[in-house]
Structure 1
């Protein structure tokens, strides 16, 4: 098993401890997690889509919890549904699961939908105005100009 050593990076950085711990923990957790399968797509500059294959689960058996920097998708099947069935082959997984996704700062869940056995969770990055880059003019009034990265030029609006 390959294990990354972040020691050289830890020596030259300050305040990135959480990032290195996240990378190390994700590497350990990924060894045992393979159910249910999922996709993560970038569908826009600040928009993402997480698709989780949840065949056989009803909407009331799936719980989605969004916390700061963490999205948890949990599936809980009721055990009584297969008690009186006689399977010759059972290839569709019918077990409980918990899938955790670490989210970057300012990423929020905007929508969740279940269709065709796929759970679709839409995420968006919303950076607060106070944290967006501002151009500070030299001399004159000290009123910064907000920089709009979407258009690649100044908005022309002044913020206090």
Structure 2
């Protein structure tokens, strides 16, 4: 049994969180029918993540990684014929070779820093890099903050057209 969540009360009382609430709403609607290829997501540090995906039977040329804004798309498409290239006939085919596309929603400022295919495992390293202007900063408070007396100063005078 699936429970539907109503996020509309949160939209009324929050400002600037619409993207996060939309992601929660979309995640609650996703039905995972296809869970192939299997993958792991690990947090390796404060801002470091790793996705490990089992893609046995796929070569480096048959895999594609694409990052579009906050979406990472991993897809695989087998090239060549299904018979293995050596005119063999399969009696049992247990290694999946079907095309796939797996999408991962990334948080703001998360970038792919590397990917490697070793022994049938595709590892994708991710890092969250917060821009310097968005990091917390300390603001100095001046000791004497008296404002000059005498009102405001006029910066520009009105110009008369002849």
The TM-score, its normalising length taken from structure 1, stands at 0.79
Structure with bigger strand share is 1
SS in 1 for 2:112: strand
Moved over 4 A (4+): none
Work out the number of aligned pairs and report it.
141
Deviations 1:80-117 (A, max 9, x none): 13275432222222110111111111111111000111
Kept in 1, the 8 Å contact 2:75–2:102? The answer is yes
What's the CA shift for 1:79? Answer: 5.2
Greater Rg over alpha carbons, structure: 2
Structure 2: give runs of 5+ residues left out of the alignment.
Answer: 145-162
**1:136 and 2:139 are equivalent in the alignment:** yes
Aligned counterpart for 1:92 among listed residues 84, 89, 95 = 95
Task: Give the Cα–Cα distance (whole angstroms) in 2 for the partners of residues 56 and 28 of structure 1.
Answer: 32
The worse-fitting range, judged by mean Cα deviation, of 22-31 and 6-15 is 22-31
Report Cα offsets for 1:60-97 as digits up to 9, x if no partner: 00001112111111101125132754322222221101
Q: Work out whether residues 83 and 90 of structure 2, in 8 Å CA contact, stay in contact via their aligned partners in 1.
A: no
